[in-house]
Amino acid sequence: MTAPMQTTPDSTLIEQMMAGDEAALSILYDRYSAVLFGMLLRILRDRQAAEEILQDLFLQLWRGAARFDASRGSLSTWLLVIGRNRAISRLRGKMNREVTEEEDGDYANSFVSSQNVENEARRSELRGTLNAALNKLPSEQRQVLELAYFEGMSQSEIAARTASPLGTVKTRVRTGMQSLKEMLVGY
Amino acid sequence: MTDRHANPEDLQLYALGALEGDEQLTLKAHLKTCAECRRQVASALQSASLLGLAVDPVAPAASVKQALMARVHAEARPATTQKVLVPARKKRWGLRFSLGFAMATVILALATTWLWKENQRHRQEAAGLRAELDRVQAQAAREGDDLRAVAEVVSAPDTVTVTLQQQAGGPPGQAHVLYNARKGLVIYSGQIPPTPDGKSYQLWLVPTQGAPVSAGLVEPNQQNGTVLVHLPQGLAAKAFAVTVEPRGGRPQPTGPMVLVGALSS
């Protein structure tokens, strides 16, 4: 009974949400909540705060479904970008990051993506490939990416934490991101 | 940077949230005018989001979904605005807004709609259209909720009234907003000339802290149909504004403000 529903494309579910179909939101929640909650917990290390952000994120999706162009951006990317920014705002108390949240969400929604993680098996496969790719990165490159993404550190904070010149931090970010992208060609 | 593309390193740092200070401000300004760099930063954001996708998933407690669906069900529909139909009537330009008039017209409209729905319900019962009946009942229940919400906002002592005035050089117009922050409810009524082709008017709550919050799209002549808007509860507002946006609205204001009204402190 649930198998056919799980393969319904995100774009179709978003259209159904626009028509007021609460079941469509329920399916999208079941599809992405565990991925998002894992990411939010890794950033916040606070179950209650992560739950609050998760709930608000899907509420925002419900209210703003009409504004999300599913024919362009990937919904998973949009949810990850907005959710991550919101978690970092909570973690670091940067309320003005809200502006960036919305702008980043717009940018994420404007990128025509080939990435399809609507299917659990596909997500699991990608996760395995991603972790293998991350493990292949030199540790100093992986460290700067993780300090920025999961701890919300700025480039100068990363430079101070790693006792590295700012230019080195920038280079490690660039090469780390580039390597990740190259290792994930096809996804 | 305004006449050449951004440094790829800066785009990647921005996507990771690690760009700061003047570099971040300069890049954000550049992104507003450079489609190619917006495309690059979108690609970088997608790459950065892979880091989040790599984390092992963790199932949230079932109560989170239950609470979410309860909130969604209470809102009844995804759109941020709910247009409350009021029978068309001629209004003179500049007619002063009246709280009593607003409440009376909204209640009358809702009552009329309610009765119509009830009539529909009975006819459909006779026809045995069970599915349609369920839909109409749900709609009627939502409108009953709207009626209660409007009455509560109008009568609540902590509801504030804001008059939105036209801006110098902009089109003529005026609007009025009733706002109850505790309940997260906005009632809007206003009159502005029609928008240019491909554009929409969008209402914004400008909070005391943070970015403007969309209160949905409004029609040029909204005095023939007051709008009830649900927003997150507890938002402290310092002003309301109406801007001209691309059709369908935007998550953040991008166009000129045509009406603005500040809350008196």
DSSP H or E segment with residue B169: none
Confidence of residue A60 (pLDDT cuts 50, 70, 90): confident
Q: How far is CA A147 from CA A165, A166, B16, B18, B30, in A?
A: 15, 14, 9, 9, 26
pLDDT surpasses 90 at A30: yes
Strand partners, B178: B161, B187
Select the more confidently predicted residue: B91 or B57: B57
CA distance B66 to chain A (A): 10
Question: Are B210 and B196 in contact, with CB atoms under 8 Å apart?
Answer: no
What pLDDT score does B69 carry?
Answer: 92
pLDDT surpasses 90 at B156: no
What pLDDT score does A89 carry?
Answer: 86
* Average confidence (pLDDT) over B95-120: 63
Count the residues in chain B.
265
Which B residues 150-189 touch A at CB under 8 Å?
A: none
- Say if B65 is an interface residue toward chain A (CB within 8 Å): yes
Strand partners, B237: B207
DSSP H or E segment with residue A34: helix A22-44
Tell if the CB–CB gap between B17 and A103 is shorter than 8 Å: no
pLDDT surpasses 60 at B93: no
Of A55, A59, A84, the CB nearest to B52: A84
Q: Write down the ipTM of this complex.
A: 0.85
Q: In this structure, what token pair is assigned to residue B86?
A: 């009021």
- The mean pLDDT value of chain B amounts to 77
CA distance A113 to A184: 14
Strand partners, B204: B214, B241
Question: Are A75 and A105 in contact, with CB atoms under 8 Å apart?
Answer: no
What pLDDT score does B91 carry?
Answer: 41
What topology does CATH give the domain A1-118?
Rna Polymerase Sigma Factor; Chain: A (1.10.1740)
Question: Are B134 and B237 in contact, with CB atoms under 8 Å apart?
Answer: no
Rounded to 10 degrees, the C-alpha dihedral B132/B136/B137/B141 comes to 160
Q: In this structure, what token pair is assigned to residue A87?
A: 């978690």
- Say if B252 is an interface residue toward chain A (CB within 8 Å): yes
CA distance B141 to B227: 18
Residues of A in contact with B17 (CB under 8 A): 85, 88, 97, 100, 148-149, 152, 154
Tell if the CB–CB gap between A80 and B53 is shorter than 8 Å: yes
Crossing angle, helix A97-110 and helix B35-53, to 10 degrees?
Answer: 100
Of these ranges, A158-162, B23-27, B87-91, B219-223, the one predicted with the greatest mean pLDDT is A158-162
- Say if B31 is an interface residue toward chain A (CB within 8 Å): yes
CA distance A89 to chain B (A): 11
Residue B92, class by beta-carbon neighbours within 10 Å (0-12 exposed, 13-18 middle, 19+ buried)? exposed
* Average confidence (pLDDT) over A21-50: 93
Select the more confidently predicted residue: B65 or A120: B65
- Say if B62 is an interface residue toward chain A (CB within 8 Å): no
Residues of A in contact with B39 (CB under 8 A): 110-111
Architecture of domain A119-187: Orthogonal Bundle (1.10)
Tell if the CB–CB gap between A107 and B78 is shorter than 8 Å: no
Write the CB contacts of B120 (distance below 8 Å, at least 6 apart in sequence). B136
The distance from CA A107 to its chain's CA centroid, rounded to whole angstroms, is 13
Of B8, B68, B210, the CB nearest to A58: B68
Cα nearest neighbour of A54 on chain B: B64
Q: What angle do CA A150, A153, A156 make, to 5 degrees?
A: 150
What pLDDT score does B26 carry?
Answer: 86
pLDDT surpasses 60 at B134: no
Residues of A in contact with B43 (CB under 8 A): 111
- Say if A155 is an interface residue toward chain B (CB within 8 Å): yes
Of these ranges, A156-165, B91-100, B232-241, the one predicted with the greatest mean pLDDT is A156-165
What pLDDT score does B206 carry?
Answer: 92
Write the CB contacts of B139 (distance below 8 Å, at least 6 apart in sequence). B117
**pTM for this prediction:** 0.56
What pLDDT score does B243 carry?
Answer: 93
Which A residues 17-36 touch B at CB under 8 Å?
A: 17-18, 20, 22, 25-26, 29-30, 33-36
CA distance A172 to A169: 5
Q: What is the pLDDT of residues A89-145, one digit of tens each?
A: 888 875 444 445 555 555 555 544 545 566 777 888 888 888 888 999 999 999 999
DSSP H or E segment with residue A77: helix A75-92
Q: In this structure, what token pair is assigned to residue A123?
A: 């997500």
What pLDDT score does A33 carry?
Answer: 95
CA distance B184 to A162: 45
Which A residues 160-179 touch B at CB under 8 Å?
A: 170-171, 173-174, 177
Q: How many CB atoms lie within 10 A of CB A106?
A: 20
Residues of B in contact with A33 (CB under 8 A): 59-60, 64-65
- Look up residue B20 and give its DSSP letter: -
Q: In this structure, what token pair is assigned to residue B221?
A: 């002549």
Tell if the CB–CB gap between A155 and B210 is shorter than 8 Å: no
Q: In this structure, what token pair is assigned to residue A156?
A: 């100068």
What pLDDT score does B2 carry?
Answer: 45
CA distance A168 to chain B (A): 11
Q: How many CB atoms lie within 10 A of CB A114?
A: 8
CA distance A12 to A32: 15
Confidence of residue A149 (pLDDT cuts 50, 70, 90): very high
* Average confidence (pLDDT) over B93-97: 43
Which B residues 182-221 touch A at CB under 8 Å?
A: 209-211
Q: What is the pLDDT of residues B195-254, one digit of tens each?
A: 888 888 899 999 998 889 888 888 887 655 577 788 888 889 999 999 998 887 888 899
Tell if the CB–CB gap between B51 and A111 is shorter than 8 Å: no
Q: What angle do CA B194, B101, B222 make, to 5 degrees?
A: 15
Residues of B in contact with A113 (CB under 8 A): 46
The strand pair at B213-218 and B185-191 is best described as unpaired
pLDDT surpasses 90 at A180: no
Q: What is the pLDDT of residues B37-55, one digit of tens each?
A: 888 888 888 888 889 989 9
Domain ranges of chain A: 1-118, 119-187
Residues of A in contact with B61 (CB under 8 A): 51
* Average confidence (pLDDT) over B249-265: 87
